[in-house]
Amino acid sequence: MMNRTIYILSLAVLAGGCSGGVTPLYKQADAPVEKRVDDLLSRMTLEEKILQLSQYTFGPNDNVNNIGEKFDNLPDGVGSFIFSSDDLHSRNELQRRAVENTRLGIPIIFGCDVIHGFGTIYPIPLAQACSWNPDLVEELSAMAASEARPSGVDWTFSPMIDIARDARWGRVAEGYGEDPYMASVMGCAAVRGYQGESLSDSLRVAACLKHYAGYGRSEGGRDYTATDISLQSLWETYLPPYEACIKEGAKTVMSAFNDINGVPATAHRYLLTDVLKGDWGFDGFVVSDWNAVRQLVSQGYADSRKQAAEKAIKAGLDMDMRDDCFRQYLSELVDEGKVGQKEINEAVRRILRVKFELGLFENPYRTETDFGERCLKPESIELSAKMAEESMVLLKNNGVLPLSKGRKYSVIGPVADDAGAMLGSWKCHGRNEDTESILEGIRNVFGAGVSYTRGCDFDGSDKSGFAEAVAMARRSDAVILCLGEKAAWSGENASRSSLRLPRIQEDLAEALSATGKPIILLLVNGRPLELASLEKSVDAILEVWQPGTAGGTPAARILLGDINPSGRLCITFPLTSGQIPIYYNHRQSSRPDMGLYQDIPSVPLYDFGYGLSYTEYDYGDMVIEKLHGGKYLATIDVTNSGKMDGFETVQWFIRDPFCSITRPVKELRYFEKRFIKAGETQRFTFEIDPMRDLAYVDGNGKRLLEDGEYRVIVKDKTVSFDFTVE
Ligand code: BGC
């Protein structure tokens, strides 16, 4: 105690400089964060605390789903704002009011949805996962942070690590696909990239894991609906990415809109307090999703907004996003003894901790520079192109690809010249005029001689452009057909009942196919599509996804064979929408050969992990040996037996054929992507840690490891080994 007092005093003397007295401890940059938090908390009134728990929007909100009530005359002490504009001057003025006009001068934390880039837009997260390259995900997240932080954003509402197995849900675009291991690896990479070594770094931002938890399971693929998730699936499928990213140091979490087994995530004490803050030791804060506190009333979980505020804060929610329930009712609830000072203090403490760690007290303002000085530097555009090239997936090739220069190509289709479609949803400050379309990319790579016509719109029934398209195709050596989705067809509140593209686009493909010319289909979309019918009309398919600012040239370079495609699917493409839900790591049915669809095949069109290359990779025999310390080593040699260098991703799966609970038919446990020269053989290994890789988690989150046979699966090779718990 004695030491502590001396320490505080000496720091105060050293810091000096505060006119009229000693600088309070919380304003001393060198004091430990926890001491600063304690000090500040001890000085705050209840009203000041409640304002810290409240978030509003500042400036225009670019999320069309979230245009709502306008709040005027907010007090200067509001803790957080969503800042979607690029008006740094107004942002600084608002911050100045908080820092200079309030008694304690607590800075605002500004958040924004920097989902796949700020000014430079990267491929959508679903595409990023198809690169199987977490290093690139980390790099681009760091680059996005380096544009966002100087632009006034301290905190991004990203990554979204919701597992999604129903692509009718528009938000599949925002996550890393259907597999928990993939989402964990990519989510951790994003957290590292956003946050770096220190949050106070002027080029990093705080990350936010969302939407905790189970949002991706929205029933029927319809956004905002309830989810019914067993505790087993919760722990096995939906929670692992969160646990991994919390361990990685993610500073904030956003609770989900959905309810889980009858309790909305916004007020789910088990998830927010017991698991997240308790078992996982999370020391950051939880923000609700937009208006989700008041939505507890629509969900039938609270009889009024006041009760909603009570239930949410008591469950462990720390910040109320934009629904004004905390500000309106918490003080009353404390007076009535329904909410304790302890709960309020706990939430404030968490928010202040992150603000201190971000260095906001020392650096609350941003230099008022132009957008062009902060964004779209050549290196960020190059990185966007690199991720685009690694994330595109070659789905079909009957030999027509790669193309060669000097021949006549026609580019046809509604997506070809549409830069906006390339950006996808949540484009943040991405601008169409800074974005390369497919057509521009093709002209850039193949030369201006390429002809172009649109053929038809994205939807509707106007076929008046078909005749010109067909005539142009006839004059060409091959057609590059560009189909897909408008940007707004995926993302939030963008549910679809079918994954099929509108009929007009399929008809255009059929009309072109009738010319007998080779057709290469390029797809720009934010979700897996139903390609059963389209696939028959074309010779090759390249899944381009929504590649962001710089996707046109990489797509064209893949067509030319200048880049060997290396993307692999991180989500299953069903044959038809009727197969949904369909994903690779399902449990075995009781009669595996029966229960099949009578009208269509029961297997997907393209599996998780699938993707073609311009070369061949031959896998040798797999060997498994026991290592000291209870681990195992699986080894496999991979030879690039084709003529082109390329990147191959070795995907390691585990299967436990018999266990105390039924287990998925196989589960991804590790992967590695490497460059292999034509003719070269490389050795790949996977070190199996039994507790991490063989064990299962039960419905209480407990990991259990059993003796018995396990199988390691790589491509079409399976090797079994017997394991005994030591
Ligand atoms: C979305 C969140 C987003 C928030 C703020 C909500 O509607 O569900 O993902 O971060 O809005 O824009």
Residue nearest to atom 7 of ligand 1 (CA): 290
Residue nearest to atom 6 of ligand 1 (CA): 290
CA distance linking residue 98 with residue 104, whole number of Å: 9
Q: In which element (H, E) is residue 286 found?
A: strand 285-287
Residue at 423: amino acid letter? L
* Residue 15, pLDDT score: 37
Distance 296 CA to ligand 1 centre (A): 16
pLDDT digits (tens, 9 = 90+) for 263-287: 999 999 999 999 999 999 999 999 9
* Residue 72, pLDDT score: 80
* Residue 591, pLDDT score: 96
* Residue 17, pLDDT score: 34
Distance 321 CA to ligand 1 centre (A): 9
Residues touching ligand 1 (Cβ under 6 Å) are 63, 65-66, 82, 113, 157, 210, 289-290, 492
When pLDDT is cut at 50, 70 and 90, the band that residue 62 belongs to is low
Active site residue 289: yes
Residue 653 is encoded by which pair of tokens? 């799966």
Q: Is the pLDDT of residue 14 over 60?
A: no
Residue 276 near residue 243, CB atoms below 8 Å: no
3-state secondary structure of 415: coil
Quick one: what percent of the chain has pLDDT higher than 90? 94
The string of DSSP codes covering 305-332 is HHHHHHHHHHHT--BEESS-HHHHHHHH
Q: Is the pLDDT of residue 295 over 90?
A: yes
Which atom of ligand 1 is the closest one to the Cα of 63? 12
How many CA atoms, within 13 angstroms, populate the side-chain half-sphere of residue 596?
10
* Residue 64, pLDDT score: 77
User: Is the torsion defined by CA of 376, 382, 383, 385 positive or negative?
Assistant: positive
Distance 716 CA to ligand 1 centre (A): 41
User: Is the torsion defined by CA of 275, 279, 283, 284 positive or negative?
Assistant: negative
Average pLDDT over residues 588-612: 97
Average pLDDT over residues 148-170: 98
pLDDT digits (tens, 9 = 90+) for 493-514: 999 999 999 999 999 999 999 9
Q: Is the pLDDT of residue 360 over 50?
A: yes
Residue nearest to atom 10 of ligand 1 (CA): 157
CA distance linking residue 544 with residue 523, whole number of Å: 5
In the numeric block, the tokens 């509001």 are attached to 78
Q: Is the pLDDT of residue 8 over 50?
A: no
Which atom of ligand 1 is the closest one to the Cα of 66? 7
Q: Taking Cα atoms as reference points, which of 141, 124, 111, 118 lies closest to residue 494?
A: 124
The C-alpha R_g of the chain, in whole angstroms, comes to 27
* Residue 1, pLDDT score: 31
Q: Mean pLDDT over all residues of the chain?
A: 95
Distance 63 CA to ligand 1 centre (A): 8
Distance 65 CA to ligand 1 centre (A): 9
* Residue 330, pLDDT score: 98
Ligand 1, residues 211, 212, 290, 493: which to mutate, most atoms within 8 A of Cβ? Answer: 290
**71-80, 342-351, 536-545 — which is least confidently predicted?**
71-80
Q: Is the pLDDT of residue 16 over 70?
A: no
Please state the pTM of the whole predicted model: 0.96
Residue nearest to atom 5 of ligand 1 (CA): 290
Which atom of ligand 1 is the closest one to the Cα of 111? 5
Ligand 1, residues 490, 492, 493, 495: which to mutate, most atoms within 8 A of Cβ? Answer: 492
* Residue 65, pLDDT score: 77
When pLDDT is cut at 50, 70 and 90, the band that residue 20 belongs to is low
Q: Is the pLDDT of residue 61 over 90?
A: no
Residue nearest to atom 4 of ligand 1 (CA): 290
pLDDT digits (tens, 9 = 90+) for 180-221: 999 999 999 999 999 999 999 999 999 999 999 999 999 999
Catalytic residue, from 166, 179, 289, 693: name it: 289
CA angle 500, 528, 612 (to 5 degrees): 115
